[in-house]
Structures are given as C-alpha cells and as structure tokens.
Amino acid sequence: MTLLVITGTGTEVGKTVATAAVAALAKDAGKRVAVVKPAQTGVKPGEPGDVDEVVRLAGALTARELVRYDDPLSPEAAARLAGQPPVSPSQAAEAVTELVEDHDVVLVEGAGGLLVRFDHTGGTLADLAWTLRAPVLLVAAAGLGTLNTTALTAEALRHRGIECLGVLVGSWPTSPDLATRSNLLDLPVAARAPLLGVLPAGIAQHDRAGFLRVARAHLAPQLGGEFDAVAFAERNSP
C-alpha cells in the first residue's frame, strides 16, 4: 500500500480516527507516512483540524491541509460562501503526487462522503481517487441504515472503475444492538469488499501508545493490523 484514499458513507462516521489508525500502524512499521486533507471545512483559523488530530494520535508525520474554510459545509459551498477559491481534484492530485515521491504511505482523507463537491465544476473525491488510480477505504457507520449508504458509495466507486479496498466500521459501540451486530456480516456484502476493521467507540481517548495497541487489534492485516473479521463476527453474531 503506497497510496490510499479514505472516504466515508457520510459525515461523522470516523474517517479521521480511521486515517490516524492506518497511519499509526504504518509509522510503527517504520514507514514514512504522509496524510493529506484536500479541503478542511468547519474549522476556524488557528483551530486544530483533522490532520492535527491524526498527528496527535499517530505521532509525527507529514501532514498537509491544502485549503481551509470556516463554515461546516461542503468544500464547494464553503468556498463560495467565503469568497475563496476552491481546491480542484487536479490541484489536490498534484499535491498528493509530490508526496508519493518521498513517502512510503500517503493517506488522503476526504471531506464528508465520496461525491461531496470540491468545486463549481462538480469535482469530487471520486475524481481525485480516479486521477490518482488509488484504491479507496470506505469508512461506514455501524448501525441501522448503514447498509444502504455503504452500497450506494461502493456502487459509485465501481461505476467509476475505482477499487474499493474494503469497508471499515469507524465507531463500534460498547453495547451493539441487533442491527449493528447483524451488519458485521452484511456490510461486506453491501460493499462487495472485505471488512477490514472495526474501531471501538472512544478509541481517540487513548494516549498514543494505547491508540496504537487498539488500532493494531482492530485493523486487518491489509492495513497493518491483526484483526480477524470472521472471528469478530462470530463473537458478535445475533
């Protein structure tokens, strides 16, 4: 894995924590890691953004936030409201490609979901992934309703000829209900891709060593961890 785009089925599903977990494992394996956030929205100047949270959890790495907008909107809408220029997928691809040259792993974290608009031409994270020829890790919610949004996002990837590396549950509750436990078997079917991890809710509250330990136990070997999706599903089956 050299280049990976990380998207979600929507907002607040755990993309940043997932990005930090993948980055932490790559760093622990001795790899040179870079994380790119093409567009950060809803964060004021001077406030910590998503890449700062990744660094807090994973440790020192190359962190790039290409543009920032104050309002918690899509990048295109936030740029328009602020009267600032948007970032296009081609501009983001150029910045990411430069980092690939001297890093072993480059992670690109999107804003919102796969088809949220970056600019007035309709450019999206899907366009960026296609330009980079990069696989996509799909971060999904755990509970009721997640199967539809996961299937729609995965279908959009297939329609564009973009590989879905796998699906990852971004926040697994301490007391999962029936739908949540059932989704362990159904999410890979919806995504037509393997389940590559289940990150526990509250993982970001650990210190850096604890975060690394939990990330290793809950991410699959494809992402540098030791997670066994079959065993986890069997333990949590309805």
**Whole-number pLDDT of residue 31:** 97
pLDDT band at 2 (very low <50, low <70, confident <90, very high): confident
Token digits of residue 226: 């030791």
**Whole-number pLDDT of residue 162:** 98
3-state helix, strand, coil in the chain (%, to 5): 45, 25, 35
**Whole-number pLDDT of residue 30:** 97
The yes-or-no verdict on residue 119 having pLDDT over 90 is yes
Number of C-beta neighbours around residue 161 at 10 A:
8
Opening angle at CA 147, ends 124 and 231, nearest 5: 115
pTM: 0.96
Catalytic (active site) residue 37? yes
Token digits of residue 73: 């909107």
Q: What is the mean pLDDT of residues 32-57?
A: 96
pLDDT band at 14 (very low <50, low <70, confident <90, very high): very high
Q: Which residue has the tokens 């001297």?
A: 102
Backbone angles phi, psi at 8, to 5 degrees: -130, 170
The Cα–Cα gap between 105 and 22 comes to 10
Catalytic hit among 27, 31, 37, 44: 37
pLDDT band at 147 (very low <50, low <70, confident <90, very high): very high
pLDDT band at 184 (very low <50, low <70, confident <90, very high): very high
**Whole-number pLDDT of residue 108:** 98
Average pLDDT, the chain: 96
DSSP assignment of 51-120 equals HHHHHHHH-S-EEEEEEEESSSS-HHHHHHHHT-PPPPHHHHHHHHHHHHTT-SEEEEEEEEETT-BSST
Q: Which residue has the tokens 């918690």?
A: 72
**Whole-number pLDDT of residue 1:** 59
- 77 CB-near residues (< 8 Å, 6+ apart): 71, 117
H helix runs in 101-207, sequence order: 125-132, 146-159, 178-191
How far the first Cα of the chain sits from its last, in Å, is 34
pLDDT band at 78 (very low <50, low <70, confident <90, very high): very high
